[in-house]
Amino acid sequence: MRIKFLNKSVFTNKLCFSLLVAVVPYTCYSQKKPKNLVPNPSFETSINKRGDISGASPWIGVGTVDYYLKPEKRDTSKFKGARTGTCYAGLRFQKEYKEYMYAPLTETLKEGETYSFEMFVRLLNFDNVTVTIKQLGACFSEEVYRDDMEFFKENIVDSTNENGLAGTLNWIRIHGDYLANGGEKYIILGNFKAKMKDDFVKKEKVGMFEFEEGYYYVDDVSLYLKEEKDDSAKKHAAANRVTYPETFTAGQKFEVKNLQFEEGGTRILRNSYKTLNELVQVLNNHPFMEIQLNLKAENQSLAKSRAKAVSDYLTEQGVVNPVKHKGMALPSTAEKGSCVMEIVVLVP
């Protein structure tokens, strides 16, 4: 490979560099970069100049999500404009109104894989922006956004600050790792609290009866498959998978080591659906089988309630087999938050 220097005076200073290039294999400079699974991540590809996020295809807005091809008039701080490129978006939040923006991912997420999420937001410094909000982030969904959608904590990566996402007029990085349930096809950006007003933090010198509104710019959204140094996430998923035989005998036992529930509650987390759905399939294939679910949690009352929740889930999925359930307390030495379920075949 030939290196041509335009200025002879810099030859001596560049000599070491040229020798380094000569001995380093070319493949070092041609390594494949990780693929960003977020389409049009900086909103630079525009199909129209209407000013709403639909102009940055394939992004879609819920509400009047703004789209800027250049700094807007209200954006007057020294950090005005996009973080990179020239385009950016804006999300508005009020007591009874909030905006989301969403797009289909370029690839469906794979079960047990860890993905690295990142986006940047910036608070608009303007008179009518009277509040900041505590939480902003992304939700990863198998389904396209709908108005009655329920957002589950395990599907969300966000940045929460009880004092409000503020403290600077510069761009704020929101990031985190996401362990995929498998099948997620969409990314949704916004605030996922049930009541928007509970997430407001008033700015200084705001009157008691002043209209409350928060507004944040958004730019540079990314989601990359994370190359783990170890396969701990995959090993965890594999350890939680049950292998069922084709035929059963009375007294057979199968263990699910870490069934996932909402912390301290009985709602089954979505990343446990696959494990339970496999049991549903087994029972549907053996309609005369009878089983008992022995579920162990940190206390007997919680264990009993969770065991019933699993039994109810099986019924909701169409299982007609007799299913008994029992709750038991784990030993005091068990890891906090653990939940173990034993499946016992009563009648094969």
Asked if 221 and 253 sit in the same domain, the reply is: no
Tell me the C-alpha distance between 240 and 252, whole Å. 18
Q: Which residue has the tokens 């020798």?
A: 19
Asked if 305 and 258 sit in the same domain, the reply is: yes
Any domain includes 335: yes
Number of folded domains in the chain?
2
Closest to 109 measured CA to CA, from 232, 16, 225: 225
Cα distances from 30 to residues 17, 24, 26, 60, in angstroms, run 18, 12, 7, 35
Tell me the C-alpha distance between 221 and 118, whole Å. 6
Asked if 81 and 214 sit in the same domain, the reply is: yes
CATH number of the domain enclosing 292: 3.30.1330.60
Any domain includes 6: no
Helix spans in the chain (H): 11-23, 232-239, 273-285, 300-316
Asked if 198 and 67 sit in the same domain, the reply is: yes
Asked if 60 and 208 sit in the same domain, the reply is: yes
List the domain range (segments joined by +) for residue 63. 53-225
Asked if 57 and 201 sit in the same domain, the reply is: yes
Cα distances from 186 to residues 129, 148, 223, 286, in angstroms, run 30, 16, 11, 36
pLDDT tens digits in sequence order for the chain, 348 residues long: 333 333 434 333 433 333 233 334 444 444 567 899 999 999 999 998 889 999 999 999 999 999 999 999 999 999 999 999 999 999 999 999 999 999 999 999 998 899 999 999 999 999 889 999 999 999 999 999 999 998 988 899 998 788 889 888 999 999 999 999 899 999 999 999 988 988 999 876 655 667 889 999 999 999 999 876 545 555 555 556 788 999 999 999 999 988 889 888 999 988 888 889 999 999 999 999 999 999 999 899 999 999 999 999 999 999 999 999 999 999 888 877 788 999 999 999
Asked if 190 and 75 sit in the same domain, the reply is: yes
Asked if 75 and 115 sit in the same domain, the reply is: yes
Which of 225, 257, 285 lies at the terminal end of a domain, its last residue?
225
Asked if 212 and 250 sit in the same domain, the reply is: no
Any domain includes 333: yes
Asked if 188 and 304 sit in the same domain, the reply is: no
Residue 22 is predicted with a pLDDT of 35
Asked if 270 and 213 sit in the same domain, the reply is: no
pTM of structure = 0.74
The partner residues of 174 in beta bridges, in order of sequence, read: 119
Which of 164, 197, 225 lies at the terminal end of a domain, its last residue?
225
Asked if 109 and 187 sit in the same domain, the reply is: yes
Any domain includes 127: yes
Tell me the C-alpha distance between 329 and 323, whole Å. 20
Any domain includes 23: no
Decide: helix, strand or coil at residue 198: helix
| Beta carbons of 241 and 257 less than 8 angstroms apart | no
Which of 193, 225, 257 lies at the terminal end of a domain, its last residue?
225
Q: Two tokens at 3? A: 């290196």
CATH number of the domain enclosing 218: 2.60.120.260
Residue 28 is predicted with a pLDDT of 45
Kind of pairing between the strands at 290-297 and 340-347: antiparallel
